[in-house]
Chain A
Amino acid sequence: MATKKTPPKRASKKRTASSALPSDITNELILDFYREMLLIRRFEEKAGQMYGMGLIGGFCHLYIGQEAVVVGIQSALEERDTILTSYRDHGHMLACGMDPDGVMAELTGRSGGYSKGKGGSMHMFSEEKGFYGGHGIVGAQVPIGTGIAFAHKYLEEKAVNVAYLGDGALNQGQVYESFNMASLWELPVVYVIENNSYAMGTSTARSSANSTELYHRGNAYGIPGMQVDGMDVVAVREAAKIAVEHARSGKGPYIMEMMTYRYRGHSMSDPAKYRSKEEVQKVREERDPIERLRALMLKKKIIDEAGMKQIDKDVKAIVSKSAEFAQSSPEPDPSELYTDVYADA
């Protein structure tokens, strides 16, 4: 009898950093994590404030609370790798090195924005940094990311695509169409489910079968999965190294379920009445990824209070500068209305 493809490995259900840090986690790396996560948080707070002032319009989905996911994953990637995600995309862009000025200016719809003001919060791209959007249709980024992975393989580049998706997006049919093709053709793609417990106002328990183990969703396709504490940046990085290496070495896709949480409403105009204040407060107090890293840094004497204050100040300056740029950058020239529809044949 023919043997079946090996069943997916079930990596330990919970991956957390033990007190002894893995050897590749240097002090410098920890400091980088801290800077990047703090940059995302401060940037998002600023974006929320600017939305409040009417400088940012439409939908604006903040990433506050989920910072460790993208920062940890990004640290396991190489420059040639690519990523894409949904509309909750500001953190991903900052983490892959896009200029905060250009991101903020796109939020305000100005000519200095990454899409010249024509994309907005949900639609930004940077080929240079390997960032392929910014997608407003729930789940649509998943086959697109699978296609970019297809191109990586076709071009024999040894690059990996990371396709981020929400717990809600995971229920879209096209995701399974992608899982099937990715496994069938052994495409170098890592699917990162950012399980923040909610899709707008619907909890995973109300929307998803077997909702406590979403990382099993690839089982039928032979795709290994793991569930990771997405509030622990070190755990995220260590897990990501396994998944990315798997994809890069030609073994096909990997699914990572990141247990995380968003502190703010779904978008700026969501009062978030579907969960209690206590629930949010508890996560903030017990699991906050930045606070956890701060505690770790102090305990391991990687930095002192004064040093941390300096980083806070530096990050604030970057964010303030981006806010200023986003307000002083001119609106797109009216002639831009008609450009970029077609590429010249």
Chain B
Amino acid sequence: MPIEILMPALSPTMTEGKLSRWMKNEGDSVSSGDILAEIETDKATMEVEAVDEGVLGKILIAGDTDNVAVNTPIALILEDGESDADLNGYSAAAPVTRPAAEQVVESSAPAPVSVSGPAVEFVAPESEWNGSFTKTTVREALRDAMAEEMRRNKKVFLMGEEVAQYQGAYKISQGLLDEFGAKRVIDTPITEHGFAGLGVGAAFYGLNPIVEFMTFNFAMQAIDHIINSAAKTRYMSGGQVSSPIVFRGPNGVASRVGAQHSQCYASWYAHCPGLKVVSPYSAADAKGLLKSAIRDPNPVIFLENELMYGTSFDVPDTDDWTVPIGKAKVVRPGTDVTIVTFSLMVGKALDAAEELAKEGISAEVIDLRTIRPLDTETILTSVRKTNRLVTVEEGWAFAGIGSEISAIVMEQAFDYLDAPVKRVAGVDVPLPYAANLEQLALPQSSHIITSAKEVCYRS
């Protein structure tokens, strides 16, 4: 049987084209790679190359023919041992439509649904701690978490700028070089894109890197690897290649360091499936969540806050304290209004709740702790009880975490709301340097109090 040469599609969008001219004549012998004809696509003139070997037996569509549909037979090639007699019965067939297009229409994929938050079904319950506690700073808690996990698993290593000899730009990695040596506590050049990519490669191969960014502002250099390489590869490889890596460092506004060094990246990373995003407030949570992050087989973005590093909290006396990723915490129970927040703003929300109590408003404060996967159940349970919601974040409101929570509550608890959700967020400007302006740009307890009263219709 002669081989049919079909009108090819030479761009993702081409459905038909012009067969401009034949470069071979009937009777010519052809071999793979020979240019047979020129066609004009919707974008350009392209060459059609032979894939098969033989003799060009018959041209079915002459040169200079317009509107030849993709997949129409345009010529026949006779293979070894075939002759003109084999061409009998062939004439220009009716154009065939492009199979791919049909498949798209027929495919039985379910209609896209809006799934709020990632599809993580099961979150292990949080363990209760009945033992003793020690007052520990967030800084020490983070260090202890890394040290304990490095003792536990030889594949865990820490890499970043100034993490080893200098003991960390914010002294998070104090003592780690001494204990684990230069093989596992690695000072990198100032090379965020490079070392983030290198970390992802090591994770692909089964190591468990902790990549410290001096601050998350500099991770913008590396965001391509965080999202395109770390977050997406498991999916793109059909589950074969994972990235068990932690990217950690201070996030958000420090103090008077100006716009380029003061930004909250929670919503940037939380946007992306494939990542987990954690942002703790207390030292116990910082420790327990960092340990969970290091053990997690997925890429985890661990957003710390510089202003919290020196704050002390009770931390359980054990080297196996973990806090599950994906579980929010009610840090102050209340009945009149729900305040949802995370990281440094938890403190401001607790202050606000204290003030509100004096005025007879009982606020329930939820510390998200994990942004993705978001613990919607804890939020919804609270809103169904209080019927009012204020979200608080340091980052900008536009497409922020508060916006996402508002949408979820609107979709899943609309009938429970007695007032529109209020978002307290950073002012919609790059962060100013001047002390007074910086204060004005950031959410304060007073904003939270005002918003809480508003949703309670109190003044």
**Genuine A/B complex:** yes
| A binding-site residues for B, Cβ under 8 Å | 41-42, 45-46, 48-49, 51-55, 57-59, 64, 82, 113-119, 123-127, 132-137, 140, 142-152, 154-155, 173-174, 177-178, 180-181, 184, 263, 265, 268-269, 271, 273, 284, 331, 334, 337-345
Whether B435 is near chain A, meaning CB under 8 Å from some CB there, is no
Question: Contacts of B94 on A, CB cut-off 8 Å?
Answer: none
Q: Which of A127, A135, A148, A334 gathers most chain B CB within 10 Å?
A: A148
Query: What is the minimal beta-carbon distance from A176 to any residue of chain B, in angstroms?
Result: 8
Query: What is the minimal beta-carbon distance from B450 to any residue of chain A, in angstroms?
Result: 39
Q: Taking A54-B99, A150-B207, A151-B205 as given, write out 7 further A-B residue pairs in contact, using a Cβ cutoff of 8 Å, ordered by the A residue number.
A: A46-B51, A115-B236, A117-B238, A127-B240, A155-B207, A340-B239, A345-B292
By the criterion CB–CB under 8 Å, are A343 and B8 in contact?
A: no
By the criterion CB–CB under 8 Å, are B110 and A45 in contact?
A: no
By the criterion CB–CB under 8 Å, are B297 and A344 in contact?
A: yes
**Number of residues in B with C-beta < 8 Å to the partner?**
76
Given contacts A142-B197, A147-B199, A52 and B10 within 8 Å (CB-CB): yes
Q: Which of A59, A113, A133 gathers most chain B CB within 10 Å?
A: A133
4 tightest Cβ-Cβ pairs between the two chains A and B: A147-B201, A52-B8, A177-B194, A143-B197
Cβ proximity bits B1-24 to A, threshold 8 Å, 1 near / 0 not: 000001111111000000000000
By the criterion CB–CB under 8 Å, are B207 and A154 in contact?
A: yes
Of the stretches B225-233, B354-362, B415-423, the one at the interface is: B225-233
Residue of A nearest to B100 (CB): A54
Given contacts A54-B101, A173-B193, A154 and B157 within 8 Å (CB-CB): yes
Whether B224 is near chain A, meaning CB under 8 Å from some CB there, is yes
Please measure, in the bound complex, the distance between the C-alpha atom of A247 and the C-alpha atom of B351, giving whole angstroms: 59
Please measure, in the bound complex, the distance between the C-alpha atom of A227 and the C-alpha atom of B203, giving whole angstroms: 32
Q: Which of A82, A135, A273, A343 contacts B242 (CB 8 A)?
A: A343
Cβ proximity bits B198-216 to A, threshold 8 Å, 1 near / 0 not: 1111111111000000000
| B binding-site residues for A, Cβ under 8 Å | 6-12, 32-33, 41, 43-46, 48-49, 51, 70-71, 98-101, 103, 107-110, 118-120, 124, 157, 183, 188-189, 191, 193-207, 224-225, 228-229, 233-242, 244, 273-274, 276, 292, 295-298, 325
Please measure, in the bound complex, the distance between the C-alpha atom of A144 and the C-alpha atom of B236, giving whole angstroms: 16
Q: Which of A133, A152, A181 contacts B241 (CB 8 A)?
A: A133
Q: Which of A113, A151, A181, A273 contacts B206 (CB 8 A)?
A: A151
Query: What is the minimal beta-carbon distance from B351 to any residue of chain A, in angstroms?
Result: 34
By secondary structure, the A interface counts as loop
By the criterion CB–CB under 8 Å, are A54 and B225 in contact?
A: no
Query: What is the minimal beta-carbon distance from B204 to any residue of chain A, in angstroms?
Result: 6
By the criterion CB–CB under 8 Å, are A180 and B236 in contact?
A: no
- Number of residue pairs A-B, CB distance < 8 angstroms: 222
Q: Which of B33, B201, B273 contacts A143 (CB 8 A)?
A: B201
Q: Which of B6, B44, B49 contacts A53 (CB 8 A)?
A: B6
Q: Which of B107, B200, B202, B236 gathers most chain A CB within 10 Å?
A: B236
Given contacts A53-B99, A116-B238, A123-B237, A150 and B201 within 8 Å (CB-CB): yes
Query: What is the minimal beta-carbon distance from B291 to any residue of chain A, in angstroms?
Result: 12
By the criterion CB–CB under 8 Å, are B201 and A118 in contact?
A: no
Given contacts A53-B8, A123-B236, A342-B118, A137 and B51 within 8 Å (CB-CB): no
Question: Contacts of B200 on A, CB cut-off 8 Å?
Answer: 143-144, 147
Residue of B nearest to A147 (CB): B201
Question: Contacts of B297 on A, CB cut-off 8 Å?
Answer: 342-345
Question: Contacts of B276 on A, CB cut-off 8 Å?
Answer: 342
Query: What is the minimal beta-carbon distance from A54 to any residue of chain B, in angstroms?
Result: 4
Question: Contacts of A268 on B, CB cut-off 8 Å?
Answer: 10-11
Given contacts A115-B240, A118-B235, A334-B110, A150 and B202 within 8 Å (CB-CB): yes
Question: Contacts of A151 on B, CB cut-off 8 Å?
Answer: 201-202, 205-207
By the criterion CB–CB under 8 Å, are B298 and A119 in contact?
A: no
Q: Which of A124, A154, A177 contacts B191 (CB 8 A)?
A: A177
Please measure, in the bound complex, the distance between the C-alpha atom of A152 and the C-alpha atom of B183, giving whole angstroms: 13
